[in-house]
Chains A and B, each alone.
Chain A
Amino acid sequence: MFFDINTLLTSYFGMYALQAVVHSLVASLIVDTAIVVWRVSKPVNKQGLRLMTLFFPVSMFPIYQLINPDRGSLYFRLGSLTDLNKWLYSEVFGVPLYVIALIICGLTTLVFLLQELLPMILQLVYQGRGQQGGPSQEGQAQEEINGAIMEKITGALKELPPVKQGYGIEVIDSDELELSSSTGLKPKIFITTALIEAFDKEHLQAAIAHEVGHILRSRRPILMLAYIVRTLVFFNPIALIEFRKIAQEEEKICDDIAVELTNNPEALYEALTMMRPDPHSEAGDGVKGIASSLEHYSHDIMLKNRLMRIGEPTEERANIPIVYAMTGILIVSLNYFIV
């Protein structure tokens, strides 16, 4: 077992995986600092910087090794900033750190499987079967939805500017205030009847415009690549956290698109406020209850952040290409000496 761990950690794959995690930690630190120091405010720029924490650690190791094949040797490690092998074989209360590292990566993999991969597979299955992949499992044929609801949606859509990519609207009979979209070749927006009844025309427009933003952005190659890279580094806890942050910035970008399409930031603000989870709702008992409460809490925090910035003018003070360049250079140069 000992020999296998050591062989694994000193193999190309072992070094790649290990350094990918640590490099993404360093990248995350540098990016967070850059956002604060240069007061980067636009979500699209913040997202661009955060994407570096995904892409760089995955792509730089092979390049580093090409530049210097001896980078993994002990001779290089002696002069490096950090020799990870030393840390891995250190013991904390008699437990080697590599055991703790493997446990953390294992838990991260589990979270990825349960929270991201499985829901994605289920959604694809539902879509494949022609079922609604939206918020609710209970559906109702469109002809059964009453005319008033359809009229409301049609009225809201009429005043939205047309977009190059077509999309469909699917109404779901549900009591929950829910709205989502599916992207791909035939994008669709799913809206529940409760939401349509609760919102007026302007709120509906703003909500639909937000989902249109998602549809418009779903085809961007860099975001598709981010999803692929995210899947490849399923074991990386830093990538898990950073991807969440990237997704949060994506929501803010779509808020900006919604405001641009509707020219009505107040409507979006009110729509989001109405969709905030009820703080007094019962979360249930036990672990499930705690998990549900935590999810509601984090979702609420995110909504609050979005609400605070809707309609606020954002202007970058720093030269963004230089911000990108400096951040990238610092990430690449520091990580070269972490082996």
Chain B
Amino acid sequence: MKDNSNSLQKGGPLFTLKGTVFMLIISALIATTLYFANHLPSLMDSGFVRQYSDIEELKRVFGAGTITIPSYFPEGIKWPPSFIIAQKRPFMAIAMEFQPTGSATKGLNIVQTDLKGNPTAFKRFHLNSVKGEAEHLIKGKRLVFKVGTCQGGIACNSLSWHDQRFYYEIISTASPLETIKIAESMIR
């Protein structure tokens, strides 16, 4: 027996249109409510991830001694950072992005996280394909150096290490030597 209860509908176009407009309004209200409600956890607890306007604000919140900033920047990388995000909860993490001069493509990404944190979410760009990997020793610290390509097939490299408190990673489109010098300037 054929179930005919789902035959083609005849309804009024105006009624359908009114309903569509109403649904769009309701959806906009839902979206707006969600957007503002999303700020509630940050109001209750300021440690959640957010964007910071500059290094000074970051130092005020996290303490100058906690943040590690390179003192060496290769030519072609702009200071100050163009984008800073950081959080204290659920684990401490800071990510800074530096633009290359005269271009809009990503130049340098520095990530610093708690040892128990997950740094992956903080990286703006990732080494999609690793073509080579090596270990370096700088000031007694073992660093892992990788060369490959990032999003868009751009040649990039990364250098990562950790101390007793934090994990650090530099992802850069600068030359490998420049990246090593950046890391050297960060390691105390």
Residue ranges of A at the interface with B (Cβ–Cβ < 8 Å): 2-3, 6-7, 10, 26, 29-30, 33-34, 37-38, 42-45, 48, 72-75, 77-78, 80-83, 85-87, 89-91, 161, 163-164, 212, 216-217, 253, 256-257, 260-261, 315-323, 326-327, 330, 334, 337-338
User: Please, which residues of chain B bring their CB within 8 A of the CB of A72?
Assistant: 121
Residue ranges of B at the interface with A (Cβ–Cβ < 8 Å): 1, 3-6, 9-13, 15-16, 19-20, 22-24, 26-27, 30-31, 34-35, 37-38, 40-42, 44-45, 48-51, 85, 89-91, 95, 116-118, 120-124
Is the Cβ of B23 less than 8 Å from the Cβ of A86?
no
User: Please, which residues of chain B bring their CB within 8 A of the CB of A48?
Assistant: 6
Is the Cβ of A10 less than 8 Å from the Cβ of B48?
no
A227 to chain B, nearest CB (A): 18
The 3 A-B pairs with the shortest beta carbon distances in the complex, nearest first, are: A320-B9, A86-B41, A38-B19
Is the Cβ of B3 less than 8 Å from the Cβ of A318?
no
User: Please, which residues of chain A bring their CB within 8 A of the CB of B121?
Assistant: 10, 72-74
Is the Cβ of A33 less than 8 Å from the Cβ of B122?
no
In the complex, what distance in Å separates the CA atom of A10 from the CA atom of B26?
Answer: 31
User: Please, which residues of chain B bring their CB within 8 A of the CB of A163?
Assistant: 1
| 20 intermolecular pairs with C-beta atoms under 8 Å apart | A6-B116, A30-B27, A34-B23, A37-B22, A37-B23, A37-B26, A38-B19, A72-B121, A75-B85, A82-B37, A86-B41, A86-B42, A90-B41, A164-B1, A315-B10, A318-B9, A319-B11, A319-B16, A323-B16, A334-B30
Is the Cβ of B12 less than 8 Å from the Cβ of A86?
no
User: Please, which residues of chain B bring their CB within 8 A of the CB of A330?
Assistant: 23-24, 27
Is the Cβ of B1 less than 8 Å from the Cβ of A261?
yes
Find A74's partner among B3, B16, B20, B85 (CB 8 Å cutoff): B85
Select from chain B the residue with minimum beta-carbon distance to A261: B1
In the complex, what distance in Å separates the CA atom of A74 from the CA atom of B126?
Answer: 13
How would you classify the secondary structure of chain A's contact residues: helix, strand, loop or mixed?
A: helix
A9 to chain B, nearest CB (A): 9
User: Please, which residues of chain A bring their CB within 8 A of the CB of B40?
Assistant: 90
In the complex, what distance in Å separates the CA atom of A81 from the CA atom of B34?
Answer: 6
Q: A90-B45, A317-B12 are in contact. Are A257 and B3 (CB under 8 A)?
A: yes
Find A260's partner among B4, B12, B45 (CB 8 Å cutoff): B4
In the complex, what distance in Å separates the CA atom of A163 from the CA atom of B38?
Answer: 55
Find B15's partner among A42, A44, A80, A317 (CB 8 Å cutoff): A317
User: Please, which residues of chain A bring their CB within 8 A of the CB of B44?
Assistant: 90
Is the Cβ of B95 less than 8 Å from the Cβ of A10?
no
Q: A86-B42, A320-B11 are in contact. Are A216 and B90 (CB under 8 A)?
A: no
In the complex, what distance in Å separates the CA atom of A87 from the CA atom of B31?
Answer: 17
B116 to chain A, nearest CB (A): 5
User: Please, which residues of chain A bring their CB within 8 A of the CB of B89?
Assistant: 89
Q: A86-B49, A319-B13 are in contact. Are A37 and B35 (CB under 8 A)?
A: no
